[in-house]
Chain A
Amino acid sequence: MSQFYLTALQLALCLGPMAMGIFISMKVFNIPDITTDGSYTLGATVTAVLISAHFPLWMVLPISMLCGAMAGTCTGFIHTKLKIDALLSGILIMTALYSVNLMIMGRSNIPLINTASVFEQFHFFKNEQLNQLSTAILMVSLLLCFIIYLLNTDFGIAMRATGNNPVMTKALGINNDRIKIIGLAMANALTALSGFLVAQYQGFADINMGIGIVITGLGSVLIADTLKKWFNIKKISTQILLVVLGCFVFQSVLAFTLSIGIDPNMLKMVTAIFVLIIVALPRISGGWVKK
């Protein structure tokens, strides 16, 4: 039983960077970016190919993130320079990435057996699972520190203001297009980082692993958003922490669903319904309160 939740925690930590990425694109910049499905798989395929070719991990990590950033840059470029709707821009890149990913892998699946893994780099404990968990915690904590720092720098304030009031930021000398492209690149680099982590955790990269993954990130962000409203949280640092918490809640619900014996094929349906509930609940309860 507890095994389900430990796995959920591990997966939540692996998907945490992606959730932060979606927080950046959706909440900070107010852009619904669904390049995610593609850039997540991109991160995983690049990781799998490079690890299989015995590249050292310290090179694989930045390369896979850079690939994600490039995907985000493409989406950002199409959205801002060609003035195409953000959703459509994301769908276009996501679709194109499917072919790119197939091309990179050369087939639809690469197993990672007896290869180097980021989760085997540290040996804090004797228990392998605890080691994996602490590695993930370490990485996500470092990432959190970096993102919190970034969002509080002058550049971070400019990022947040651009999503909040583009009329003002233009008048304050900010190139809105440029900063949006940087933001989307950042968001998708984080998404690719999740691909990097999950591929090694699962032990394979698969061309279909990204399908619907955006909803996982979206769900985490929405849970965070609901918590933010309940507790009236205004600090950006706390909000990004809540996103990681939201990611864990989300994975726990899925773990719970599996643990009570629901057909795994129904998992995507459960995910969709769960996200619907998160989105609808505050509205419905708000309506009741008003009455």
Chain B
Amino acid sequence: MIRIQHLTKIFNAGKEDEVRALQDVSLDIQKGSFVVVIGSNGSGKSTLLNLILGSIFPTSGKIFINEHELTMQPEHLRTKWISMVFQNPGNGTAPDLSILENFRLASLRSTSKKMKIGIDNHFRLMVKEKISALGMGLENKLQQPMGSLSGGQRQALTLLMGVMDKTDILLMDEPTAALDPKSAQIILQLASEINKTLGITVVLITHSLKDALQYGNRLLLFKSGTVVKDLDEKQKQQLALSDLYEWFA
């Protein structure tokens, strides 16, 4: 699904403030897996995600998705495979647009946005059904501007929006960092459900070691731009929280 070969990213190369964010990382992520990425700040996890997303480009190395090489492809052309949930709930939704309009746009992620009215009754009902499954009581507020909702609500909707159109990969960069524990659990459970029922590959960056232990079937630990630990489902299950703390010590 995602194949990464010798990926290196150096910011400000050759200058005094040179940062080697990612150093010769190679990874193979299988279809349908739920990969949890942990590591301290500046260890290169977000850099990896942004390289896959295409918001930045690598210094060297290659990225393949479904055997397509997209190392240097601009972000808006990669969106037919990838959807992204950002750390800041504000980044994933347009605040002045209504919930319905946000969903409409999300449903067109991989196709062109044509000059015709796309929001009809059929679409409205479909969105309503999906949102009501969240159990947040938002299904009757479809016309409300996104900006009037709480961070947790917006993040949950962003996640739903991510799978409105067909997608292969869901990238999540600390999606719960700005949320209260309860909303955080809703988000991660939803991600887990999406992974299981739709078979979508999920890559989740988190700072919560508890969540890292509870969710996903593969665990990557980043340290100064390299992968230092890579555990599969079995190894991950035998892991205790204390082990994780030790890694960070």
Interface residues of A, Cβ cutoff 8 Å to B:
149-150, 152-158, 160-161, 164-165, 167-176, 234
B113 touches A154 (CB 8 A): yes
- Residue in A150, A154, A173 with the greatest tally of chain B CB atoms within 10 Å: A173
Residue of B nearest to A175 (CB): B76
Q: 0/1 per residue, B89-119, Cβ < 8 Å to A?
A: 0111111111001101110111101111111
B55 in the interface, Cβ–Cβ < 8 Å? yes
Once the chains are docked, how many angstroms separate the CA of A160 from the CA of B146? 13
Q: Which of B83, B96, B111, B117 contacts A164 (CB 8 A)?
A: B96
A171 touches B83 (CB 8 A): yes
A161 touches B105 (CB 8 A): yes
B105 touches A172 (CB 8 A): yes
A171 touches B93 (CB 8 A): no
B86 in the interface, Cβ–Cβ < 8 Å? yes
Which A residues are in CB contact (< 8 Å) with B183?
A: none
Once the chains are docked, how many angstroms separate the CA of A152 from the CA of B118? 8
Q: Which of B77, B79, B98 contacts A172 (CB 8 A)?
A: B79
B145 in the interface, Cβ–Cβ < 8 Å? yes
Residue of B nearest to A153 (CB): B115
Query: What are 6 A-B pairs at a CB distance below 8 A?
Result: A153-B116, A155-B115, A165-B95, A168-B93, A173-B79, A175-B76
B94 touches A173 (CB 8 A): no
Q: Which of B93, B94, B108, B109 contacts A160 (CB 8 A)?
A: B94
Task: Return the 7 tightest CB-CB contacts between A and B, nearest first.
Answer: A173-B79, A164-B94, A158-B113, A154-B118, A161-B94, A154-B113, A165-B94
B75 in the interface, Cβ–Cβ < 8 Å? yes
Q: Which of A154, A156, A173 contacts B76 (CB 8 A)?
A: A173
A152 touches B117 (CB 8 A): yes
B53 in the interface, Cβ–Cβ < 8 Å? yes
Once the chains are docked, how many angstroms separate the CA of A168 from the CA of B94? 7
Once the chains are docked, how many angstroms separate the CA of A149 from the CA of B116? 8
B172 in the interface, Cβ–Cβ < 8 Å? no
B84 in the interface, Cβ–Cβ < 8 Å? yes
| Given A153-B116, A173-B109, A174-B113, also A165-B93 (CB < 8 A) | yes
A171 touches B94 (CB 8 A): no
From residue B8, how far is it (CB to closest CB) to chain A in Å? 24
B80 in the interface, Cβ–Cβ < 8 Å? yes
Once the chains are docked, how many angstroms separate the CA of A150 from the CA of B104? 15
Total interface residues in chain B, CB < 8 Å: 36
Which B residues are in CB contact (< 8 Å) with A156?
A: 115
B95 touches A173 (CB 8 A): no
Chain B interface main SS type: loop
Q: Which of A153, A160, A168 contacts B117 (CB 8 A)?
A: A153
From residue B113, how far is it (CB to closest CB) to chain A in Å? 4
Task: List 5 additional contacts besides A173-B109, A174-B76; criterion CB under 8 Å.
Answer: A165-B94, A167-B91, A173-B80, A173-B108, A234-B96
| Given A150-B115, A167-B86, also A172-B91 (CB < 8 A) | no
Once the chains are docked, how many angstroms separate the CA of A178 from the CA of B172? 27
Residue of B nearest to A152 (CB): B117
B91 touches A165 (CB 8 A): yes
Once the chains are docked, how many angstroms separate the CA of A176 from the CA of B94? 14
From residue B45, how far is it (CB to closest CB) to chain A in Å? 18
Q: 0/1 per residue, B63-94, Cβ < 8 Å to A?
A: 00000000000011101100110100011111
A161 touches B109 (CB 8 A): no
Which A residues are in CB contact (< 8 Å) with B94?
A: 160-161, 164-165, 168-169
| Given A149-B117, A160-B94, A161-B94, also A171-B104 (CB < 8 A) | no
Which A residues are in CB contact (< 8 Å) with B79?
A: 171-173
Which B residues are in CB contact (< 8 Å) with A153?
A: 114-118
- Residue in A149, A155, A170, A171 with the greatest tally of chain B CB atoms within 10 Å: A171
Which A residues are in CB contact (< 8 Å) with B77?
A: 173
- Residue in A150, A153, A160, A169 with the greatest tally of chain B CB atoms within 10 Å: A153
Q: 0/1 per residue, B118-151, Cβ < 8 Å to A?
A: 1100000000000000000000000001000000
Which B residues are in CB contact (< 8 Å) with A176?
A: 76
Which A residues are in CB contact (< 8 Å) with B117?
A: 149, 152-154
From residue B188, how far is it (CB to closest CB) to chain A in Å? 20
Residue of B nearest to A167 (CB): B91
Which A residues are in CB contact (< 8 Å) with B86?
A: 167, 171
A171 touches B53 (CB 8 A): yes
A172 touches B115 (CB 8 A): no
Residue of A nearest to B84 (CB): A171
Once the chains are docked, how many angstroms separate the CA of A16 from the CA of B220? 58
Which B residues are in CB contact (< 8 Å) with A234?
A: 96, 98, 145
Once the chains are docked, how many angstroms separate the CA of A168 from the CA of B93? 6
Once the chains are docked, how many angstroms separate the CA of A167 from the CA of B118? 22
B106 touches A154 (CB 8 A): no
From residue A75, how far is it (CB to closest CB) to chain B in Å? 22
Once the chains are docked, how many angstroms separate the CA of A155 from the CA of B105? 9
Which B residues are in CB contact (< 8 Å) with A152?
A: 117, 119
Once the chains are docked, how many angstroms separate the CA of A174 from the CA of B111? 9
Which B residues are in CB contact (< 8 Å) with A150?
A: 115
